[in-house]
Structure 1
Amino acid sequence: MSEAAVMPRGNAVAVVAAGTDSNGTARPDGRNRRAAETRRKIIEAAKVMIAETSTAPTVVAVARRADVSVRSVFQHFGDVESLFVTVLDAIGQDIVVPQQASDSRPLAERVASVVQGLAEVFDKIVPLRVAAGQFVDHPALIERGNAFKLELRKSTFEAFAPEFASLGEQAREELADAIGAALSLDAWIVLRRRDGLSFDRAAAVWRMTLEALLTHRFASVAAE
């Protein structure tokens, strides 16, 4: 990221709307279309580069890949972080999160469904998460990460509603915490990137882990 090191930085997500110039003045329709196309090319170039390298591309590299000027990139995005956050949102819109299994299905089927759904989503965003390392403290990324974790926690309660219903409040929260930690994006990255496991083997590890957590928790409750 040597080129990016000297680029302006800030907290803006995007400084120029598709239909306005830097002063907020509306552009003619022709300019609007060209601006929108340039913005699309910049975002698509950055998405492809992140998928290929798992690193955050520099503005210079994105401009070259999109066949636009560096100045054009900064006309649409205030800084490197803003471009990255916009790309993150664009990738998020491309991902379809599978619906969770009905809580009336057998536990083993629900475990398999939850793991498969999470694994498929996480496998698509691993390159983005790895690339986001240098922007880990960016407020927008923190906000989106926290929202994502809350959504996964909600899905966990829904998928295993019958099992959670038998627990006290503290036990429910502890089990949800354990599942959230064990089946997190960072945990998936460890299995796939650090340990080099195939998708199927990593998913099998997660199924065993989730089954073990559920079995242990309910065995402990039954023994009380």
Structure 2
Amino acid sequence: MASANFSTLPLPSDTSGDGRRARSRTSRDKIVAAVLHLIEGGDLSPSAARVAEVAGVGLRSVFRHFDDMDSLYQEVSERVSAQVMPLLREAVIGATWKERLVRIVERRTSIFERIHPFRLSASLKRFRSAFLTEEYRRTLELEAATVEALLPPHILADQVSTRSIKVILSFQNWHALRFEQDLSIQEAREVVSRLLGDIISKLAD
């Protein structure tokens, strides 16, 4: 799966109104794209002044379009989610639950690789943002639910095994492998696959 550049993906624009409304939407879109660009580039907590500079708008324009930085980050988060969530929910093909679990590794880790800077950015701010705190909770629930959907009842009844599988396939585990142990994508994926294979080999079909 190719890496996404969220700042270059099209933003929805309302061009049906008059020129002033279209220009306002264009400025708003530039501001959102600037935040995406900065976060992708490693600035996980860009200032309003830096956002305005990259967007090519005045600082006052940022706060004319957004009440505060929290509302700006809310729109950024919604855009990233809109691009990624359909991939996370996509049906997994496989003859058995074990086969489906193994097949989800590449897709899920590719998604994690794409959203990594945005998840880190949100983590830095979520303790000061009610929206990002709730968004974090919803994301964790969705990640857990997509794993649970692949497991048969007798595995779901085994809480230790279910939790172990969730941890292996979690963003936190991927982050630890890629950015704390400094593994390549392929090396990290091999570790995830090995851990998953080891645990499901011990479980009944």
The two structures have a TM-score, normalised by structure 2, of 0.81
RCO greater where, 1 or 2, for CA within 8 Å and sep 6 or more?
Answer: 1
Secondary structure, aligned partner of 1:53: coil
Q: How does 1:1-224 map to 2 (within 5 A)?
A: 29-95=18-84, 96-97=86-87, 99-105=90-96, 107=98, 109-137=99-127, 138-160=129-151, 164-167=152-155, 169=157, 171=158, 173-216=159-202, 218=203
Residue type of the partner of 2:73?
A: F
Question: Please, what is the CA RMSD of the aligned residues?
Answer: 2.4
Q: List runs of 5+ in structure 1 lacking aligned partners.
A: 1-17, 20-27
1:11 is aligned to none
Aligned length: 188
Secondary structure, aligned partner of 1:74: helix
Cα deviation, residue 66, structure 1: 0.4
Residues 102 and 159, structure 1, Cα contact 8 Å, conserved in 2: no
The 4+ residue runs of structure 1 with deviation greater than 3 A are: none
Residues 102 and 197, structure 2, Cα contact 8 Å, conserved in 1: no
Q: List runs of 5+ in structure 2 lacking aligned partners.
A: 1-12
Supply the distance in 2 between the matched residues of 1:74 and 1:92 (Cα, whole angstroms).
23
Q: 1:8-30 CA distances to partner (integer Å, 9 max, x unpaired)?
A: xxxxxxxxxx98xxxxxxxx722
Secondary structure, aligned partner of 1:136: helix
Residues 54 and 128, structure 1, Cα contact 8 Å, conserved in 2: no
Question: Which one has the largest radius of gyration?
Answer: 1
